[in-house]
A = this chain, B = another copy of it.
Amino acid sequence: MSEPELRLDAYLPYRLSVASNAVSGLIARSYQDRFGLSVPQWRLICVLAEDDGLTQGQLVARTVMDKVTVSRAAQGLLKRHLVARSDHQADGRSHVLALTHEGQGLHAEIAPLALAYEAALISGLAPDEVALLKRLLGRLQTAAGQLAGDTPG
């Protein structure tokens, strides 16, 4: 007995999705309005600022985005001269992306805003709660990845 009750607002995947949508929507709107950047574009800038000279394939791995998404984001940034492309030394199919000076400037401008958003979002939480939250999110992600691989039942 005791049917294990399924209530939507207690259902973790739902809660996760709603929270993520709220946060992503906030951030996406902000970057779009202020800098004309999509979230994928911003992610590329962010990764390239950490670690310059990556191929799109590497960016796919780093950002957990689809390669089509990365391709389009890169094209947009190219058009705005925020990143530059150079031929890959050893692989003629591949190109190496790097931030231009202008791209670096934009990153320097946005990064504090991004951090301010994060700070505002977690302002009610204790530092150890934040750390735990990040760890739990990582676990969920890997669990989902494993389940997606198997034939879950």
Residues of A bordering B, CB below 8 Å: 4, 6-8, 10-27, 29-30, 39, 43, 46-47, 49-50, 62-64, 111-118, 120-125, 129-130, 132-134, 136-141, 143-145, 147-148, 152-153
Question: Can you list the 6 inter-chain pairs with the closest CB atoms, starting with the nearest?
Answer: A20-B20, A22-B144, A19-B137, A19-B141, A6-B111, A23-B144
Q: For A138, list chain B residues within 8 Å (CB).
A: 15, 19
Query: Which of B8, B117, B118, B123 contacts A46 (CB under 8 A)?
Result: B8
Q: Are A121 and B13 in contact (CB under 8 A)?
A: yes
Q: Are B15 and A50 in contact (CB under 8 A)?
A: no
**Complex CA distance for A118 and B11, rounded to whole angstroms:** 7
Main SS class of interface, A = helix
**Complex CA distance for A3 and B15, rounded to whole angstroms:** 33
A79 CB → nearest B CB, Å = 23
Q: Are A121 and B143 in contact (CB under 8 A)?
A: yes
Q: Are A13 and B117 in contact (CB under 8 A)?
A: yes
Q: For A63, list chain B residues within 8 Å (CB).
A: 8
A126 CB → nearest B CB, Å = 10
